[in-house]
Structure 1
């Protein structure tokens, strides 16, 4: 009799995507997760913007500009035609480019390491822990 197979656990890297409405104040709102799992050939930016939280930091924030920049991150992750020159790079290079240190309104946290059996589930778990605000 065979012992049940243990699911393969892949290593992944992730960063939290942040909007910093007023860079000089260094206040930010977590708006998404950028996750790379090379073994699974997975690269995704999952984004959920809480406009009220952003407006609390800066009532005059240009949300259309924020959305355009975040959509560009999603397009770069997806890659292929229409994603610009960075979107044509290999997945790992795109992840490193997206997580490079910047002093703009869209920033990422330092890169962290994790292990999972399914990268999509890991993204959801991280969204629940790092981005979504519980409203009990």
Structure 2
């Protein structure tokens, strides 16, 4: 998928106009080239809001967010978004989605406000929406999703610096029932010859380390007939000799037992040798 420009705004809860205090509660995102308009709103975790705005009843906060979630869904449906970034209608709706985004994020009075509109580039608007939500709302700066995203960006930067990024593309594989997307697939005459997948295995619980490792091990084994034989996992894990480290080592051993090459994502030379071999 080609990189494209997106616009987004942070949705904020500001119950007291007098103090101008607010809390981030969601993200709304527009990808105008494909008429994609979608959002993510916090509708499950209210502890931060009820603690910070202790003069507002918890039932009131829940009601406000529930009603606003329904309103955003209605607006998204008007834009014709069906969850895949494609229009549901036969006519062109790109302008419709863009106009709705502008109207939605326009500054107005109320307990729900928006930040200034911001811009970014991405290959996958849906993944970018999830990433922004985790960052600005869930504040998972050190979460496994965020750290794995950082690893991918570091690898992409390294490939660009070596001027070999053109050889690697994001590619999905689908056996008709199960599908998976790999961020770096080396192609030769549009045929996949190598996969490079950065994987973060430094989760705060040993079970979660093994679960995440097993997820990618299952993916490779499930799609083995469709994937190239040369598969490299660039992993980052915990240091020391803790149970987390033992779980990490067990996951690495399982990868290697399935003929997957494993390299240290933090060692650029080792990673480059695996990419260029």
The verdict on a shared fold, with TM-score over 0.5 as the criterion, is: yes
Which residue of 1 is the match for residue 67 of structure 2?
68
Aligned length: 123
> Quick one: distance in 2 between partners of 1:68 and 1:120?
23
Equivalent residue of 2:109, what SS?
coil
**Aligned with 1:92 (options 89, 98, 112):** 98
1:121 and 2:127 correspond:
yes
5+ long unaligned stretches in structure 1: 1-6, 82-88
Conserved in 1, the CA contact under 8 Å of 2:37 and 2:79? no
Which residue of 1 is the match for residue 53 of structure 2?
58
1:23 and 2:44 correspond:
no
> Quick one: distance in 1 between partners of 2:26 and 2:52?
17
> Quick one: distance in 1 between partners of 2:40 and 2:105?
14
**Aligned with 1:111 (options 117, 130, 133):** 117
TM-score (norm 2): 0.41
More deviation, 19-28/72-81: 72-81
Conserved in 2, the CA contact under 8 Å of 1:16 and 1:109? yes
Stretches (4+) displaced over 2 A? 57-61, 133-136
1:80 is displaced (CA, Å) by 6.6
TM-score (norm 1): 0.80
Which residue of 2 is the match for residue 34 of structure 1?
28
> Quick one: distance in 2 between partners of 1:101 and 1:95?
12
Equivalent residue of 1:31, what SS?
strand
5+ long unaligned stretches in structure 2: 81-94, 144-203, 205-277
> Quick one: distance in 2 between partners of 1:56 and 1:25?
16
**Aligned with 1:130 (options 132, 136, 148):** 136
- Structure with the bigger RCO (C-alpha within 8 Å, sep 6+) is 1
1:124 is displaced (CA, Å) by 0.9
> Quick one: distance in 1 between partners of 2:50 and 2:12?
14
Q: Rg larger in 1 or in 2?
A: 2
